[in-house]
Structure 1
Amino acid sequence: MLLVGGAQQGGPAAPAIFAPPEIYDPVRQRACSLADDTCPAADIDLLRIGHSLSGGDGKVLLFGGVDEGGNYLASVWLYSAAEGAFRQVSNFDPGQVEPRRDHAALSLGSGDNGRRQVLLAGGVTGSGQQARFPASALLFDFTAETFTRTSIGMTAGRADLCLLGLDTSRVLAIGGRAEAGPVKAVEIFQGQDFQPLDAGGEPAVLARARSGPQCALLDNGAVLVSGGADTFGASLATAEVIETSGSVYQPEVEDPGGELARRGALLLRDEGGRVILAGGSRSDGFGEEALDSVVALSLDDDGQKLLVDTLPPLPHRLQEAAVCELPGGGYLLSGGWNDDGPGGRASAEVWYYQP
């Protein structure tokens, strides 16, 4: 398990002391030791937050983010499992690849040409009144080790969006936040540009604008969208379903404890296909608390009611942790903020979780 970036102090609102890369071996339960290799050297450019890590063909792409001074990082890095080291990607035009943070990244399956790629969409660049939300996406090819497309159009520029693969050739971009606040837009990428998802001749939109929603592909091909934050930063306790036809509806929710109201949760699946939300944070628009609660989500047979079942909680409150699905089943959870006290506390723990 490769871990890159993140902060060791300061909490989600004011992260500080950025962390160097580590490798965790789940068999030996040791950090910085994988097949007797030491951790990769930490170039200063690898210390960042707001970035993405995406894997394919035995390599991991590190893109975007900012350093401890809040400066946007234009350098792009590849980690090679075979080499056990990072190397900087340089065979692209930097003027065509705008640095950004809080974007979405999705590793795509091998297409017709058998090559693995990663799609990087949205994000924000600049801060305060100078913040901009690029309405563009990028496509990176792991075989060529370069960006093959740098100007994929999006109809709505936004950060903190969901990027969800329907299959190897279709990707949905859902929700997010733009300059005016959270957005309702739902777009689809099918190899060219993003286009509004068609819902019977009309663009599909969410019933509620959501920043940072949780999105999951259901067994029937529909997409479940839950939680996120509204215009005031308050967590939303509602859910929506995007059907394969493109239509969007809000199921009735059986959630007396308001457990859907969260963002930044770990998104997992159990053996029965239920969507598991673990941890995350909840806000009333004024203050925010980290969560240790775990819930399982599933639609009833008619698809009109969302069932919310409470599961045993996590050992600690936990938000913004990294999650890695293991080949033999179960998940590794690592890092994150594990305390809702002043500033939060960075976690150095690694947990094995079996839903």
Structure 2
Amino acid sequence: DMFNNLVGLTHLSLIFCRINGTQVSSNVFLPLTSLTYLDLSHNDALEFDYLSLALETISNYTNLKVLNITNIVNPFSRGISVTENFSKSLPRNLEILNASSNALEDLDKGMLLELPKSLKLIDVGSNKFAFLSYLKDLNALENLETLIISGGYAFSLPWYYPPDAYHPKSLKNTLLLDYEKKDYIHQPLPPKLQNLYARNAGMSNYLTKFYFNDSNSLKLLSLDSNNFPVLQGPIFGLNKLENLSLFDCRISFIYPTFFTNLTSLKFLNLSTNYFGNVAFRSNESLFKELGSLTVLDLSFTDIRYISYQAFEGLDMLEILLLQINPFSQFEVDISLCIVYSILT
């Protein structure tokens, strides 16, 4: 009954509201006869089956033109399939559908055939699509002008494990997510694992707070050529990590908190990223906790300005690589660093 008195509402945004699909009434949108824009993005427990039950009651008479449903499924779930019933539930006058970042892998037979013929733009980027027979029906989208299947959308690191199984045709097996009762993941690693390589692995995340079991033995972590635009942290549990490589990860911003717990690092590669004027402008050193670091590679990172205290705390630094950077100002205090070689 929450929308009963809002019959004149044309735009509705409910993003990041932790909406759980099991709690959504099938008649929730019935009063909204004037609605033209609906955004339900970033409610990763909403899910397609539950949403379709709410949409099908208004599909034939609503004037909804734009539907945004980015990330209504946990993006870390195994790939899912969207059913023909979901297509049938969509408003028949819909022109723009954004269903990016939903772990979509497959579309059921007939799903594309049942999409509204009025669709002009579809965004299904950052999903997991396989090359399967559903593609035979693409020509059924006779009025479609723009199709977006690009990747690269970045999410924060997960803080809970998604359901072990997702059954798109069964509503009974979907877990009821109670966010308030969930604790942060403490990810275990094999006890003798020392080297972990995840280069060019298709990861696209903001590196936010994350926990590993602190009994691990990891010494080398290579995450080169993934998409990590922001390093925020802190990262817990990597107490023995000595070598961290984030080469070519599209990093544009680093929080001072990211390196707080990585105090055993000796080698850090941040080369071939996009720091520009932002990353090192702060008066606070990003590396102040890295007293054991001996090699720091910041080459080819588009650094134009570095603050005076940028390298404060790097007491054991021997090699600093800064080549191929368009410096406009360089007035860095390295008097406290035992710098063996500076390459510019």
Q: TM-score range by the shorter chain?
A: under 0.3
Larger Rg computed on CA atoms: 2
Superposition TM-score, scaled by structure 2 size: 0.24
Bigger share in strand? 1
Bigger share in helix? 2
Superposition TM-score, scaled by structure 1 size: 0.24
